[in-house]
Structure 1
Amino acid sequence: MLKKFLAVSLLGSTLAFVGCQSLPQLPGTTANLNQLQNKTWVATKIGNAALITNPSERNIASLQFDEATKRVTGSDGCNRLMGSFDAGKNSISFSQVATTRMACLNNSNVDQLFNKALAQVTNYKVEGKTLSLLDAQGTTMIQFESAIQPR
């Protein structure tokens, strides 16, 4: 009797464990995440201030999210930046973000504004070609447009 109980318990535990690991993702939970990754996003606004950049500039404020490595790279408008990110359906967090320390003249402190805004980001929203990085209250901290990549 004890052997049957043990066998049934073991079989039940195994099925429950395997079943939990193979649950499909709910529809629509990854659509926002898929649109975020593997693109170059060029900053167009920090807070309410529009960013006007010359396409020939060297370090345009931008971000790229690599799905495979969970790494974020880009520029704050002056310095190169790199780090890790973790994103869900609407939430996003950055960790181990590091930047180079170059002297940038005449950039209107875009790099400082960009980094300060990025530190407050907790959520994101992708609508078409627009990415908005939001704070916990839903305020847009940085807005980006998807860049067209040359072929």
Structure 2
Amino acid sequence: MTYAAVMSAALTLGGCAGVHSSADDQAVDEPLENTYWKLVALDDQSTPVVEGKREAHFVLHAPDASTQNSRVAGCNRLMGEYQHDERELSFDRLATTRMACPGEVGSLERDFLATLNEVSGWQIKGKTLTLLDEQGVSRARLEAVHLY
């Protein structure tokens, strides 16, 4: 089944990668949609932490969600559409606000946006979402964050 909906993301620098325990490995998989996904790695490189900046993240809003607005966090907001089924995921019509993002913040933002444009698959294990390219190579790793 394919879904199309509005995607929201905040593009700023993220935290460090989480440590997994055996309890995490046995955890129930988080849902792809309506989950706050914090970026922890791009191309197997941990995302840097910049003091005073929010983490890069996105929320994929389900088609029936009551709010379709992106959340503001740090440098720019990302809006667009996505489609997915049980294995495939693609992003379309991605657009960002246009605030200047110098240094590491800007570099990470550009790399994250480029990665989203190359994503064609996904998998979730516990609280970890892995975005995959056409060859099945991990391009980004995100961690679910519970806000309440």
- Which is richer in helix? 1
**Residue 11 (structure 2) aligns with:** none
Structure 1 segment 1-151 matched on structure 2, within 5 A: 35-53=31-49, 57-58=53-54, 60-69=55-64, 73=70, 78-107=75-104, 109-150=107-148
Q: How many residues align?
A: 118
Structure 2 CA distance for aligned equivalents of residues 76 and 114 of structure 1: 15
Unpaired segments of 5 or more residues in structure 2? Answer: 1-27
Once the two structures are TM-superposed, the CA of residue 47 in structure 1 deviates from its matched residue by 0.6
2:115 is paired with a residue whose SS is helix
Check conservation: 1:121, 1:134, Cα contact below 8 A: yes
Alpha carbon RMSD of aligned pairs, Å?
2.8
| Structure 1 residue runs without a partner (length 5+) | 1-30
CA distance in 2, matches of 1:72, 1:48: 30
Tell me if structure 1 keeps the 8 A contact 2:130–2:141: yes
Contact (CA 8 Å) 2:34, 2:60: kept in 1 or not?
Answer: yes
**What TM-score, normalized to structure 2?**
0.69
Q: Distance in 1 between matches of 2:94 and 2:145?
A: 22
More strand by share: 2
Secondary structure in structure 1 of the residue aligned to 2:81: strand
Distance 1:99 1:148, change over 3 A: same
